[in-house]
Amino acid sequence: MKPHFALNNVTRKLPEHLHKFVVSQPYDEYTPQNQAVWRYVMRMNIDYLSRVAHKSYLTGLAATGISVDQIPRMDGMNRILKEIGWAAVSVDGFIPPNAFMEFQAYNVLVIASDMRTINHIEYTPAPDIIHEAAGHAPIIANPEYAEYLRRFGEIGSKAISSAKDYEMYEAIRLLSILKENPNSPEKEVLEAQKQVEYLQENMGELSEMAKIRNLHWWTVEYGLIGTVDDSKIYGAGLLSSIGESDWCMQDAVEKKPYSIAAATLNFDITKPQPQLFVTPDFAYLSLVLEEFANTMALRTGGLNGVQEVVNSKNLGSIELSTGIQISGIFTNVIKYKNNQVAYFQTSGPTALSSRDKELIGHGVAHHKNGFGSPIGKLKGINLQIEDMSPRDLKAYGIYEGEFIKLEFESGVKIQGKAITGTRDLSGKILLISFTDCTVTYKDQVLFDPSWGIYDMAIGKEVISAYSGAADHSSFEDVSKVSETKTKKITYTVKEEKLYALYAQVRKIRAANASNQKVIKSIFVTLVNEHPSDWLLALEIYELSVENAYDFSDDIYQYLLKLQENTSFQKLIENGLQLIKIKND
């Protein structure tokens, strides 16, 4: 199937199941005021962040082709990003955490295509193009950090979620969409806020995904680098927020040395962060990531790993010591002494793989009703089945055409006629298939002969358990696109007229064709018809100062009066200071 977005050398490697999250960048929907907001934030950021951000930020802006004067186009960014081995795709707001991280694993930056409104110019709870393009993209020009981000995606995409994690994702997505839309009914915003707060307080034990999202938040989003007494900003959430980039440098925000302990500290996207973590350098981020990965079921496997994929109630995979991988919805695990797995079961479509490739004849069509298998040693036999040579198998009666009775140390019993075996390229046996087979554990029937052919996976232990499928092509849809869509903002006639004034000023500045009479006319219209808009007044003042118009002081006095509105005060003050610096 031909993808619905342009491919390049990087995005061409994306697996098809991620394509559904990619949307077209709605560039024509950005209003002239959106463009002005972008310009204001970027100019403020560059002025301030040049002093407090990691040195990679400013060089990264140039390396990734991000302009101060206009919202970047995705195709333009991609032409430059490919030079550093990355790419960018446009998505609709928050996407599921596993999918988000998997994009990173393929060196693809997901960029939320929406643009924050002027009401959220300092900070927005919703991901937007300022946060993604101007926050994340510049730092990935640093090779050490880029590799950390890729590796984080590779490991994070395998993290196992709890059943509540997806509910929390949907709740946060809805809240961010409602908060960013100025037309959202206040009642709906409050209800969504209460739901997020309720879930935050009732999540129970943190899942792997919740923990690794915490690590992502305290590094990729809100990380500081250096020492606790002298730190610089590198986290995209701080780099893209003119409010929090200033706030985070204050003594009121506690600075802590970064460590794996950050995995258990939750965050609240709706509030400024009361504490932040400082890494000594980018290489240290990777050390902590590896430390955390060593605690994950991905590397530890075992009974706990299988129980985690069972508890997730989502598609997951386990890998046995032979290398065979089982992917499906795990519903049951029978444990044996010393916390060992005696038997595991999936329900519904299941696929078997080896080295992340589906085994021929063992896809979801063959295992449409689930799969189950014992694990461990046979009773009274010291040699593991996986270590038996063809001669050993024959000696123990495990041979094609023979009626076999197998009893495992756990108490699981198998009786049936062996019809074939499946081996990997190195000759290691992965599966033994039976007909007329009965599988029991104590008084429980685990498989009945009337159910058809029984396939027994071979392995002495579970060495890995993780989220998602071993071979993504085995399943049609491994992750869902949220049904909660970002609503297109509708504008009043009055707002449309205001945006037309913004467009005029933007065009004049771009063409370097300022005219005192025209600028004054626009200013008079602004004062009379849109008396609460401060940003366009700033842009007009900037042009009047640059061209030494005789009514510049009138605009300045008007802006001082607007500052009496406390919600504009700091924004106007910063804008005036920037104009002064530029023209001194």
Distance CA 185, CA 193 (A): 13
Mean pLDDT by 10 residues, the chain (584 residues): 76 90 92 96 88 90 85 88 90 89 94 88 81 86 94 96 87 87 90 89 88 95 95 91 84 95 87 91 97 98 96 95 97 92 97 96 96 95 90 87 93 95 89 96 96 96 96 81 82 96 95 90 96 95 94 95 88 92 77
pLDDT at 61: 84
pTM for this structure? 0.89
pLDDT at 47: 87
CA 293 from centroid of its chain's CA atoms = 17
Q: Is 485 exposed, middle or buried (0-12, 13-18, 19+ CB in 10 A)?
A: exposed
pLDDT at 2: 65
Q: Which amino acid is at 380?
A: G
Report the 3 state secondary structure along 555-581: HHHHHHHHCCCHHHHHHHHHHHHHHHH
pLDDT at 122: 81
pLDDT at 444: 95
pLDDT at 65: 77
CA angle 415, 421, 424 (to 5 degrees): 140
pLDDT at 543: 95
pLDDT at 160: 96
The CA–CA distances, whole Å, from 289 to 92, 137, 382, 401, 465 equal: 28, 21, 38, 50, 18
